[in-house]
Each structure stands twice: as structure tokens, then as C-alpha cells.
Structure 1
Amino acid sequence: MRCRLFCAAVLRRVSSMRIAAPSFIKRADRITNVRFLQEFVDEVELLYMSSLYEGDEPDPAEVAELAATGMRFNVHMPYDIDLSKKENWAVIERYAELLLPLEAHTHTLHIQKEDSFFEHLINFIAKTDLPVTLENGGDDANLFGLIPNEPVWICADLGHVLHYGGTVEDIIRHWGRDIGLIHLHGSDGMRDHQSLKYIDKNTLRLIKNFAELQELTVCVEVFEENAFLESLDILLSL
């Protein structure tokens, strides 16, 4: 597989699609993962999943070390807080401030249905001038229709779409021009965030062709080294 991945990596350099991976492929800290991933991907999705977990807030020393790698980043903001409540946006603002040195190309939030969520989102963008993408966190891609006419892009988690029985064709047809980032992972019928071997090759080709046409980042959102390498090999060999 390593030989095939090396050949595929050469092809990746001439592709208009960028490939990303989350910052926890190995059971190690973010900087260890980023250094490992530099061989394989164009971009790393920095995961900050829990605002309540002590130690998960961005550390300025770690951020400086990450910035020094020269890697391109996107940031997954914490999703464990209700962002329909104004006071919780202070957490997002704090994360955004600490992560500024990375110049991330986007900051991803899980979409919510409440009107107040979008009101606070618009205020956040006006205040920070940061790029933002809104992700379907589960079986809720229909909420993309609520996104206001503001500088907000869609993070289409196609792994979630497929896991819940949706189709990639529908997402691309309805939201294609507004997609700024793709999350991709397989489902074994019980769990998602599995290897891409569980996704039909024709579906993967459709996603890859769309991402290349739109010059998008596709994040292979699996969290285990062997499954990641297998998935990368599958995607790049199409």
C-alpha cells in the first residue's frame, strides 16, 4: 500500500482537489499528528470537539508550533454547546482568537435550526471577519436551506448523508454552488467515520469529480491510521 500511496501522492500534487485529514489519526497530540500527516495530505482539520474538556482549549504554544509547520488548516469548532444562546458564543470567540495565527481557511460549526443561531452567527462573522462553514452534524442537511445570504459556506458532511440514507446527488444538486468543504467517511451500517471501502466507487468518483471541478478540500474524516491510509489509497486511485 505504501508504494501505491507514494504514486498517488504524486498525482495529488497535480489535482485541483485538496485532501485533508483530522488531527487525530494517531493516538497522539495534534502536532505529532500534523507532522505525520504532512507526508500524505494538503491540509489538516484541527479538531476542537469539546468546550467542556479540560485541556482542549487551544494552547498558544501549541498553536505557534502548528503555525511553524507551514501546513494549511481548517478548524472544527466545539460542537457541545448550544449556539442559539448568545452567551455561548464567547467560547467560539475565544477559540477563534487563540487560533488566529494559523490563518485557517475556514472555521466549521455544526448548523442549528433556531433563528437565534443565525443571528449570533452573523454577528460573529461581522465582529471577527473570519471564514465560516456550517456542517450537517447528522441527518440534518435540510437545514442548509436556512442559511442566510451572508458570507457563509456549507461544509457538506457526505459521510453523514450516506450513513442516514441520503444521496450525494441530492446534496450536490441542491447545494453544490454553496459548498466550501467536504467531510467524507464510510459507514458499516452501524457506525460512520469508517473507511471509504464502505462507499460505492461510483459515488466516490462523483464526489472526487465534483471536488476537483470546484477546487474543494475533501477531509477524509476517519480517526484511525490504517483506516485512513486505506481510505486515502482508495480515493487517490480512482
Structure 2
Amino acid sequence: MIKRPFRLATTSFIYPDHIIPNVKKIGAFFDEIELLVFESQPQEVIPSRDDVKELTCLAKDLDLTYNVHLPVDISLCAPGPRDRRNAADTLKRVIERFSPGPVTSFTLHLEMDNPLPIKDGIAAWQENARQGLELLIPDLENPAKITVETLGYPPDLFTDLVNEFGLSVCADLGHHIKYGYDMARTFELFGPQIRLIHLHGVNTRLEPPKDHIGLDKMAPDEFERTMNHLKRYTGTVCLEVFKLACLQGSLAALSKNFDDIPGI
């Protein structure tokens, strides 16, 4: 058992309710809450300015910060320039909306078609992503607050983009297990650029593997390997689960390795 070196977070959808009620219920137990803004349409689904004001007040009362998961129904990597422009404009609106609050990072998906495209397709995807980022990043005050999330393709494929635009990384360790990517290599590639970790259980006995479940449901060897990386990590670790039972199981599993893990 060692002292927890990282800040601990979870999502704003532990209870089947809106963001603010979830923050009120769970905020006192965590250092940070991941505000889930998966959709951009209709515009009413994006929290209002008044919502952000209330979230800012709650953050002060509960001694909290937030990270914001940006919408995934748009793509900076879209083949068409109009779609990339729409994605960039939408993301800028969401970032601007939340910027008055105590937000440490904004998590961005650089989506890629699945399965992995051939070599020429990868080069085209990287160029589309570059052009999309060129529409977004110059207008941001602090590009390092954008954390590019590791998804279902090798994280190596966006290394140059992260470095070129001065971005950070969200290392989703559950995705690493689900898709068979090397966690150690990701930590070697990005080091201190990993501003945020998404942590969730994966049942690799199923086909396809089921992710975003409790850490207590993981295979023991995969769980131990993941914990070894967390023992040296000092950023924010977000338990990216969406049910109370999954959160409780994850906290119980973490408490066997680290001090100062809350119980809910």
C-alpha cells in the first residue's frame, strides 16, 4: 500500500441524471470531475452559461476542478473541409463556454475509421487531422489544455501532431488493454505530456472485449500491470465509468493499492 500520487476523478454520469446533480452528489469525494459533453447537437445539450456559473460555484464549495470531454459527434479528421471547419467551430464554442470555470483540460478525439486504413489512408488521415487542428488550435489561449485521447489505433500515429501543435495527451489505459497497445511505450513516447489518464476495467474474456466496467472485473495480471504505471504518475486519473456499481468496484480495487481512496 502506497500513498496515492495522482489526483482522482470520475465522470459526471454516475447517476442517470444531468451534470449538475451528479457533481452535487459525488463532487465531495473527488479532486476532479470529467464533464461529459459527448454531443453537440441540438445546441441545447451543451450546458448553458448559467450552468457553467453554477458548476464554477460548486467547484469552489467542493474544492474541485473539471476536465471536459469534447463532443464526439463531429470530427476534425473528416475527409471534407466543410466538415472539418464545422467541427473546429463547434469545438471552439464548447471550449469558450467552459473556459470561465476551473477546467484543467479538454479531451479531444481524433477519430479514425475502423479497421485501420492502409498506409496511404493513414497519411491522408494525418493530413486531415493536421488541417483540422490548424482551424482550431491558433484561436486557443493554451493549446496544452487539449488532451488527445488514445483510441483504437496506435498512439504513435498522432505523436507528430501532438508535438507540432503543443498539445497534451489523455492516455486511456482501458483502450490500451482493449486494443492490445503497449502502455509502457505510450508513457515513453509522451512522458509529461500525459496530462490525464482514463482508467476503466476491461473484460478481455469477451469478444469483443467489454470496457468501461469496474476495475474489480479485470484479469489480475492486467490490473497489476496497470497499477504499476499509476504508482509513478502524478497527473489526474479519471475513473471513466458510467454506473455507481462500476465506480464503487473501481474504488474498492484501487484501495487495495493506494491510500486515500474514497468510498461511496
> Which TM-score tier does this pair reach, normalised by the shorter chain?
0.7 to 0.9
State whether structure 2 residue 148 is matched by structure 1 residue 143.
no
Change (3 A) 1:129 1:116: farther
Give the superposition deviation at 1:98.
Answer: 1.2
- TM-superposed deviation, 1:122: 4.3
Distance 1:160 1:139 in 2: 9
Q: Within the alignment, does 1:207 sit opposite 2:229 as a pair?
A: yes
Q: Distance in 1 between matches of 2:43 and 2:137?
A: 27
**How far has the Cα of 1:68 moved from its partner?**
0.6
1:118-197 matches, cutoff 5 A: 118-130=130-142, 131-147=145-161, 148-189=163-204, 190-197=209-216
Deviation string, structure 1 residues 139-158 (Cα, Å, up to 9, x no partner): 34232323233321111111
Question: Residue 77 in 1 paired to residue 99 in 2?
Answer: no
**Given that residues 111 and 143 in structure 1 are in contact (C-alpha distance below 8 angstroms), is that contact kept between their aligned partners in structure 2?**
no
Q: Which has the larger radius of gyration?
A: 2
Amino acid at match of 2:66: F
Secondary structure of 2:249 counterpart: helix
Letter in 2 for 1:162: I
- 1:228 and 2:247 are equivalent in the alignment: yes
The unaligned stretches of length 5 or more in structure 2 are: 78-83, 112-124, 258-264
Distance 1:237 1:18, change over 3 A: same
- Equivalent position amino acid for 2:189 in 1: H
Equivalents in 1 of 2:182, 2:245: separation in Å?
Answer: 27
Q: What is residue 61 of structure 1 aligned with on the other side?
A: 50
Aligned residues: 224
Query: TM-score, structure 1 length as denominator?
Result: 0.85
CA RMSD of aligned residues (A): 2.1
Q: CA deviation at 1:53?
A: 4.6
Gap regions ≥5 residues in structure 1: 1-7
Shift of residue 176, structure 1, vs aligned partner = 2.5
Aligned to 1:5: none
Secondary structure, counterpart of 1:223 in structure 2: coil
Evaluate the alpha carbon distance shift between residue 161 and residue 53 of structure 1 in structure 2; reply closer, same or farther with a 3 A threshold: farther
Aligned to 1:4: none
Q: Would you say the 8 A contact 1:133–1:155 is kept in 2?
A: yes
Read off the aligned partner of 1:126 and give its amino acid letter. P
1:50 aligns with 2:64: no
TM-score with structure 2 length normalisation?
0.77
Q: 2-side partners of 1:217 and 1:177: how far apart?
A: 12
Q: Distance in 1 between matches of 2:141 and 2:152?
A: 27
Cα drift, residue 36 of structure 1:
1.7
Question: What is the alpha-carbon distance in structure 2 between the residues aligned to residue 236 and residue 204 of structure 1?
Answer: 14
Give me the identity figure in percent. 30
